[in-house]
Chains A and B, each alone.
Chain A
Amino acid sequence: MGTNTLERVAVVASAQTTLRESWSSLQHVDLIGSAVSSALRGTGLRMQDVDVVIDCGSDVLDGRSISNCGFLGAMGAHHKEESRVEEDGLFGALYGTTKVASGSASVALIVAYSKPSESSVSAYYSTLTDPFYQRALGLDHVGAAGLMANQYLTTSDADEEALLRIAAEAWRKAGNNPWVETATVPTLADIESSPYVADPVRGLQLSRPVDGAVAVLLATEQVAHRLTERPVWITGMGTAMESHFLADRKPGELEACQAAAAMATRRAGISDVGSFGLAEVSGTSAAGEAMVVEALGLAHRGRAVDCYEDGASVSVNPSGGALPADPIMATGLVRLHEAAARLAGRLGDEAATTALVHGAGGLGMQNHCVFTLEV
């Protein structure tokens, strides 16, 4: 593993569009351009100051091959270094961080977006599977979530009640998040009465695909101090990928998420994850979010629900997380934006000074990325 610790890299600004079920009046480029220009606004940075653009999107969702190639203008990438990481946006932030930490860029712009309303989310997920064994069975994200939730409940002491509570808390917090558009905020009773889509997962316990874009600006220490009083430092990063075959993963646990978290916290020199002020995590279902919370070490096995009780030591998903708003390729970068904006005090007074951020990609959250932040 890398012997040098990371050079200091900071999140200096970030912005997102409103996340909503359908932005049918706008195209990808409009959402992207809006997030990017909002991120730059008020920083004193101009697009010319950005050295590199890393973007995260999906050709399958966009209906266009190398779709980033058609969005370069809206990302401000013209005549800049640009690459696409075709994965959850937090992985794009990892690339951008290494680019800045290595000294080959002063300012990196990370962009992630999705417009799942234009395509089939099921097709996006089913085409992720191997074409011979899993795809022919009709496996998609819904079936995967059902099997994983069943495993979680079978292998731990958690019960369906806990998963209802986790979903209800997610929606309640999203109801207070002005960037998540919700017609109504479902209550625990609403969630409980929503039909199973893949038992034990009910419709309102599955993450809701939404359209949206998010942009994050990363910078060197020197630039960060010039731009902001409260740079949000990236203190650690880790990623790990799980086995492809859903049937060959450890039941009820996310080993790759554990590995990613261990890598990030080791780099950050943090031994007690209970010391984080807040955590922003991505789960594709209530059980998925529970498994992430446990894999990150925020709760004992089967006890994720404790993190949602009043007085829990770490505030988990103050934004509401991914269940009420999952802009598929952008979800992890939205988490980074939410956490960094809170630490920087951009969302009001914030007591927390450290944060744990998690993003995931793939079917059944095959790939995990974890960041640790500090102001």
Chain B
Amino acid sequence: MRNVAIVGAGQTHHARRRTDVSQIGLAREAVTRALEDAELTMDDIDSVVVCTGPVLFAAVNQPEKWLVDAIGARLKPVVRVTSGGGTGLAGALAAVNQVRAGFADRVLVVAYDKLSEGALQYSISTLYDPFWGREFAVGIMGFSAAYWRARIDALGHSEEAAAQVAVKNRKNAMLNPYAHVKKPVTVEDVLNSRPLCWPIKLLDVPPISDGACAVVLASEDAAKTATDPAWIRGMAYYSEAENAAHRSMVQSEPLTIAAGRVYQQAGITNPRRQVDVVEVQEPYTCFELSYYEGLGLCAPGGAADLISSGATEMDGDIPVNPSGGCMGANPIGATALIRLAEIAQQVRGRAGDHQISDARTGLMQAGGGWANLRGVAVVSNTKG
């Protein structure tokens, strides 16, 4: 298979609401930064993949059709890949395949959402079957809280353990210039915060954000001019029928499958030892605990101990979300690509104040839907 590298990445300064730019202006900002980072222009780009959340987030159907002019992509291949909250990674995977297949040498992936334009929870509730269950839906939060409650019993993912995730990620976000929530909290603050969908409380929940991210992917030949490419060592995005028989959400099967495939591609047998930095898409704190186990950073039931041990802190042996993760900013359609961009910048040594020293191999996870779409990627500063 042809090697593919990330040769540039950029993101916006995310915000609760950006009133100074339109939806397309927001996306363009990230594109400009990614191209600058890659020292390329749109003339160098063969193909564009656009990712956003569902149309109801911002009232623009197939928004890439509106975006095309603003990024100077007219008459180029432009296509949008959607896949719930993990859409940024699903789009990156489409781009990787375009490069590997020789369809394009350099692909720009741009992912964005301007969530302040609409009513988030209600628009998410329209995921549900209009015949069955939509009337009881509580966005994805009611569902997520319910299975966290189940994991509290089954795996010991206690409210205190999740609160430690909030404390860690919100502390890390202080160092991230693009994050917009920069307020340290304590475990007590989280536990005492207002319940929204108990056990999910206000401080377990990321902000609602306007933001965008863009990444430039290149073939091995095209990456020769890049000084510090981050090589894609593995990438996969798996699905699970949302109401299949005996679906377990205590452990995520599609995550386990995706991680297994990616580790095989990347030659990883012990992620805790072989990976230097991890970024996960934690729409609520409880999910980060679940991902520790799904990604094999600890044994099933070991997540609470892992967070308590400090191993996933910036200075731990397996730092998770040095960027602050979703707790610093969560423009949903962009969030997965932000995670990919963050690990790429880590292994390229371009992560700035939240750089993990000597990061060589990065792991990221993303997902969406009813926790039934799950993707994983590994990048490294060597081709392998």
Contacts and interface: CB of A to CB of B under 8 A. Distances in A.
A5 interface: yes
B80 A69 contact: no
A104 B97 contact: yes
A247 interface: no
B77 interface: yes
Interface stretch (A171-179, A234-242, A291-299): A234-242
Nearest to A87: B79
Contact of B239 (A6, A7, A78, A367): A78
Nearest to A239: B77
Given A79-B257, A241-B68, A243-B74, A127 B236 contact: no
Interface stretch (B52-60, B175-183, B320-328): B52-60
Q: Which of B97, B98, B257 has the most CB of A within 10 A?
A: B97
B127 A2 contact: no
Contacts of B257: 79
A78 B240 contact: yes
B308 to A, nearest CB: 33
A263 B103 CA distance: 10
A240 B61 contact: no
B4 to A, nearest CB: 9
A343 to B, nearest CB: 22
Interface in A67-121: 68-70, 72-73, 77-87, 91, 94-95, 97-99, 101-104
A347 to B, nearest CB: 29
Contact of A98 (B69, B100, B124, B241): B100
B103 A66 contact: no
A44 interface: no
A362 B62 contact: yes
Contact of A99 (B2, B56, B84, B97): B97
A341 to B, nearest CB: 24
Contacts of A60: 55, 61
B224 interface: no
A238 B97 CA distance: 15
B75 A65 contact: no
Contacts of B370: 69
A337 to B, nearest CB: 20
Contact of A127 (B55, B73, B97, B219): B55
A225 to B, nearest CB: 20
A87 B98 CA distance: 17
A130 B130 contact: no
A63 interface: yes
A107 B61 CA distance: 31
B254 A79 contact: yes
> Chain B, interface size: which category?
35 or more
Contacts, number: 206
Contact of B103 (A2, A72, A83, A242): A2
Q: Which of A65, A78, A239, A366 has the most CB of B within 10 A?
A: A65
B81 interface: yes
B242 A82 contact: no
B186 interface: no
Interface in B198-231: 219, 221
B119 to A, nearest CB: 12
A361 B62 contact: yes
B254 A239 contact: no
A343 B129 CA distance: 40
Nearest to B254: A79
Interface in B92-107: 93-94, 96-105
Given A84-B82, A259-B75, A65 B65 contact: no
Interface residues of A, number: 66
Interface string B187-205: 0000000000000000000
B271 interface: no
A366 B82 contact: no
A83 B221 contact: no
Contacts of A87: 62, 79-80
B61 A124 contact: yes
Contacts of B32: none
Contacts of B238: 79-82
A73 B103 contact: no
A242 B126 contact: no
A2 B124 CA distance: 38
A91 B79 contact: yes
A236 B241 CA distance: 33
Nearest to B117: A131
A59 interface: yes
A136 interface: no
B126 A64 contact: yes
B77 A78 contact: no
Contacts of B290: none
A237 B98 CA distance: 11
B46 A1 contact: yes
B69 A243 contact: yes
B78 interface: yes
Q: Which of B79, B90, B240 has the most CB of A within 10 A?
A: B79
Interface in A237-259: 237-245, 248, 255-256, 259
A69 B74 contact: no
Interface of A: 1-7, 53, 58-60, 63-66, 68-70, 72-73, 77-87, 91, 94-95, 97-99, 101-104, 124, 127-131, 237-245, 248, 255-256, 259, 263, 361-363, 366-367
5 contacts: A65-B123, A82-B83, A98-B97, A256-B74, A367-B78
Given A65-B124, A69-B239, A79-B240, 19 more contacts: A2-B46, A64-B128, A66-B54, A66-B83, A73-B243, A78-B240, A78-B241, A83-B94, A84-B82, A85-B79, A98-B98, A99-B101, A101-B101, A127-B59, A130-B66, A241-B74, A242-B74, A244-B65, A256-B75
A-B pairs, top 10 by smallest CB distance, nearest first, are: A102-B100, A4-B102, A101-B101, A98-B101, A127-B61, A65-B54, A73-B241, A82-B239, A2-B102, A241-B78
